[in-house]
Amino acid sequence: MIKKSFLSVAVGAAMIIAPLTAGQAAAAPQTTGDVHAAATTVCYDASGAPSFASEIAQGAANWNGSVGNVQLVNDPSCATLDYYEGNDPSGSYAYTDGHGNGYIFIDYTQAQQYYTVRITAHETGHVLGLPDHYQGPCSELMSGGGPGPSCTNAYPNADEAGRVNSLWANGFRAARGELEKIY
């Protein structure tokens, strides 16, 4: 009975501590060479979406060029963000806590209809903490598919970049809890 109780306590403690320390490996400060002294690094792994590897890299580069407080790096060894591909009748989505953790699913059908770099950059915006704003114009990345398939803007606008910089101003933010599916 004592062994079983100890094991339960140990497993429970590990479940609480592991998520708290897992993000710390990905939160190493990185010098960016601009006015920002350091940025939080969010590592990602694109190996689960090989058909979209270049689009994922371009979407990450678009964010990296627009914000200074957080940078996305393709490094599976410290990944807190994974990309996957496949078919989902609901389309592409991010499953995230908005704090650099989770995964992004890229739907094949949607990727044939919309500009794929916009899809990857939009879903990455959710992982960085931004909500959808489907009513927005094409110039807003987080308007997603709202402006229609002719929209090819894959860059956050100044307001979106400013919100991400603000959210990540003090480094890696503690997770707000459960992961959430965001389309």
Which residues belong to the active site?
Answer: 123
Residues paired with 180 in a beta bridge: 96
Contact between 91 and 101 under an 8 Å Cβ cutoff? The reply is no
Please state, in angstroms and as integers, the Cα–Cα distance from residue 4 to each residue in 29, 63, 116, following that order: 40, 48, 50
Instruction: List Cβ neighbours of 17 (8 Å cut-off, separation of 6 or more).
Output: none
Contact between 119 and 111 under an 8 Å Cβ cutoff? The reply is yes
Rounded distance between C-alpha atoms, residue 124 and residue 121, angstroms: 5
Task: Tell me the CA end-to-end span of the chain in Å, nearest whole number.
Answer: 46
Contact between 114 and 107 under an 8 Å Cβ cutoff? The reply is no
Q: What is the DSSP letter of 98?
A: S
- Joined together, the tokens standing for residue 142 give 């987080």
